[in-house]
Amino acid sequence: MMLSAAEPRRKGLTALFVDGEYAVSVDTETFVLSGLKPGAELSDERLHELIRKSDARRAQEKALYLLEHRAHSQKELADKIARTVSREAAERAASRLVELGMVNDEEYARNLAAELFGRKGCSASRVKWELAKRGIERDLAERIVEESEPDPVEAVQRLLQKKYARLLGDEKGRRRVVAALQRLGYRWDDIKSGLRKFEEEDDSFAGCGEDDRQSD
């Protein structure tokens, strides 16, 4: 077969036409380095090797771009890279960055767990679910959660103080608060205990609709 045309495209790609028909788009630099020119004979083996090299380069560039913006787990990174190149190339790129120390699942999981427990007020079960969704191994996720989990009743109390206090003045608001806490993964027993302790410690909770606490 013959490479009949090579046309520049957006995002650093070149469209290759084989025997007069569009075949594939590859990384432009990879194509230039291949030395191929329109009119050249192109075997299946050489075309597949060109695609493989193009995917490898694009996967590496995509991985570095993603890591510039925020940390990722290995699986999360591979999943995102695989949206634009082959799964094999995505897995290789993510694995290579693990080898280089640029991706570290344990460090990533610890930082994410701290954020979910601290800033978002998630329960232990919700944190485990979020870590699993990002590809963190079960044993690692459980160990990190066990080491960093705050007391669930105290966590419920903090959330009530920070976000939900003004909703506790009537039964409808109280149900909304319970539902919100359940969505964060808290068990009913912990929610009930947290509510009781919050109300015991906050003499003004019944009139909190006029204070400066934030609503949900």
Which two tokens mark 199?
A: 């109300």
Q: What is the Cα–Cα distance from 107 to 105, expressed in whole angstroms? A: 6
Q: Where do the domains of the chain lie? A: 3-99, 106-148, 152-210
Average pLDDT across the chain, whole number: 90
CATH 3.60.15.10 fits 3-99, yes or no: no
Tokens read off for 188: 């009913």
Of 107, 105, 122, 102, residue with least CA distance to 190: 122
What is the token pair recorded at 45?
């083996």
d(CA 93, CA 121): 34
Return d(Cα 70, Cα 165) in angstroms, integer.
33
Per-residue pLDDT reduced to its tens digit, 115-172: 999 889 999 999 999 999 999 999 999 999 999 999 999 999 999 988 888 888 888 9
Q: What is the pLDDT of residues 36-81, one digit of tens each?
A: 999 999 899 999 999 999 999 999 999 999 999 999 999 999 999 9
Task: Please tell me the predicted confidence (pLDDT) of residue 203.
Answer: 54
The 3-state secondary structure of 95-153 reads HHHHHCCCCCHHHHHHHHHHHHHHCCCCCHHHHHHHHHHCCCCHHHHHHHHHHHCCCHH
Give the count of beta carbons closer than 10 Å to the beta carbon of residue 174.
Answer: 14
